[in-house]
Amino acid sequence: MNLVNEIHKRKTFAIISHPDAGKTTLTEKFLLFGGAIQTAGAVKSNKIKKTATSDFMEIEKQRGISVATSVMTFEYNGKLVNILDTPGHKDFAEDTYRTLTAVDSVILVIDCVKGVEEQTERLMEVCRMRNTPVIVFINKVDRDGRDPFDLLDELEKKLDISVRPMSWPINGGRDFKGVYKLYDNSFNFFEANKTKISKDIVRIDDLNSPLVDELLEKDADKLRADVDLIDGVYGDFDIDYYLSGDVAPVFFGSALNNFGVKELLEKFLEIAPYPQARQSSERLVTPEENKFSGFIFKIHANLDPRHRDRIAFLRVCSGKFERNKFFHHVRLDKNMKFASPFTFMADSKALLEDAFAGDVVGLYDTGNFKIGDTLTEGEDFMYKGVPSFSPEIFKELINLDPMKSKQLEKGIEQLTDEGVAQLFRQDPGNRKFIGTVGELQFEVIQYRLENEYNAKCRFEPRNFHKACWMTGDKSAIDEFIKFRHKNIVKDKDDNLVFLAETSWILNSAIEQNPKITFHTTSDFKI
């Protein structure tokens, strides 16, 4: 089996968006085209009661939102596609940030009615930091929305990236007739079909054909004028600029009704990067290296609540992962083998024998893994860039049933291992503070503790501004702790953390303690 050929077959990407832009629906349609599912059900459709394939947690099904990253794999046109469907809700942004460390490219979904929204800008900032190649899909063009040219201008202004349309809507709203493919001078009409793959109705190879006037009538001249303007303003598409993260190709369509989705998928598979080299603590690791390496970017407890399983998501970065072969857990300095690794299809799993760079592997975990852990074929290095961020909201965990203390302890340990919230402990008293990015996370944690661990709790707000990890001179830290013991906690790895009530208090602590470094992310650990 040729290693390079296997790597070049793989496309691993995340779909990101502001909530309700249609991200999960687009994911389903990709699975539909890949033959991985036969019928797609929309999250908020009243006619189809089936919930979205990629939303498997009970609370996600109830709320109609994605709050955990789902991984799905399928084959299409000789390519092995790994999709990471990320949470759109801003309260779960940290989970999405970490997911972006495990992909080679991104598809960004924009609602044509609402345009670029706040969460979209935050997500794109992370992509820009890593120069991640981005393709934009402007969704819901069958609704009355913004002018396409206005949307392109807004994309460039707010997201700080150049754009190049690859398809163009033929009209919009109720008059939407299909998409014109600028890259091969053809256009397709589609019939609206929410649940099955739509078939092409007409394909025209020449935009100047009289048949275009016959079919489009009053819209024909407008389409020709739009195309002339696009060619004049945006120039030719340069794939190198896309791969370097400087230009975002833009597609228009309606995921719910299958308009423009097939064009997006096929062009993506043609131009998107295959697995790329990654920086470790020691060196740049290339996917073509013969020796296996990979890192854990997500942990999920109770993927199947009936079996209380704990799953670690491993991104393969180099070489070949093999079932029942010993690999080196760098942080624990011990060798491990995995009898039942698997690949994903939302909430279903299939046993796998091997995996290559770009693949995401599920590993059953008994508590050996933390987010950011690295597995290798013997070499000691850690992959960089999977940090924890300082939370924005802090609350103290209060046990409502002392008879269930063990269940609560186990539950909060496992749920915070997943990375959607951070656990800080304070002694004496074993007080537990939970830090999150948003309020919704507390709702999810409380729901899952009760339903998965039979443990009831409440959260009491605590007035902290920021959590800062501390490193530096030991005697200086010890002296600081004496005066600030009420604000000193430890994270899950026993690192000292200072919980500052206000930005003024934090700045004062920084100024008055030059021998101590206060970190707002956990990157210092690498």
Q: Which residue is it, tokens 């062009």?
A: 267
**Backbone phi, then psi, for 54, in 5-degree steps?**
-90, -5
One-letter amino acid identity for 70?
A: S
Dist. CA 82–CA 352, nearest whole Å = 14
Record the pTM: 0.78
Dist. CA 457–CA 401, nearest whole Å = 8
Q: Within 13 Å, how many C-alpha atoms sit on residue 453's CB side?
A: 26
DSSP string of 186-255? EEEEE---SSS---EEEEES-TT-HHHHHHHTTHHHHHHHHHHHHHHHH----HHHHHTTSEEEEEE-BT
Handedness of CA 365, 370, 371, 372 (dihedral sign): negative
The whole-number pLDDT of residue 9 equals 94
Dist. CA 141–CA 178, nearest whole Å = 9
Report the CATH number of the 393-525 domain: 3.30.70.3280
- Per-residue b or e along 456-479, where b marks 16 or more CB atoms closer than 10 Å to that residue's CB: ebebeeeebbbbbbbeeeeeebee
Beta bridge partners of 82: 12, 73
The whole-number pLDDT of residue 92 equals 54
**Domain residue ranges of the chain, discontinuous segments joined by +:** 3-271, 278-376, 393-525
Dist. CA 354–CA 356, nearest whole Å = 7
Whether 3-271 and 278-376 share one fold: the answer is: yes
- Per-residue b or e along 278-306, where b marks 16 or more CB atoms closer than 10 Å to that residue's CB: bebeeeebebebeebbbbbbbbbbbbeee
The whole-number pLDDT of residue 463 equals 92
Q: What is the pLDDT along the chain (526 residues), one digit of tens a residue?
A: 589 999 999 999 999 888 888 888 898 888 888 776 666 553 333 333 344 555 545 555 554 444 344 788 888 989 999 998 776 555 555 677 778 889 999 999 999 999 998 778 878 887 887 889 999 999 999 888 899 999 999 999 999 899 999 999 888 787 887 788 888 877 776 555 555 544 455 666 677 778 778 777 888 888 888 888 998 899 889 999 999 999 999 999 988 888 888 889 999 999 999 999 999 989 999 999 999 999 998 887 655 555 556 788 999 999 999 999 999 999 999 999 999 998 876 556 788 899 999 999 989 888 788 888 999 998 999 987 666 778 889 999 999 999 999 999 999 988 887 776 899 999 888 899 999 877 878 988 898 899 889 999 999 999 999 999 999 999 999 999 999 999 999 998 889 999 999 999 999 999 999 999 999 877 665 4
Dist. CA 339–CA 377, nearest whole Å = 17
* Domain 3-271 grouped into CATH 3.40.50.300: yes
**Backbone phi, then psi, for 415, in 5-degree steps?**
-70, -40
Dist. CA 153–CA 157, nearest whole Å = 6
Report the CATH number of the 278-376 domain: 3.40.50.300
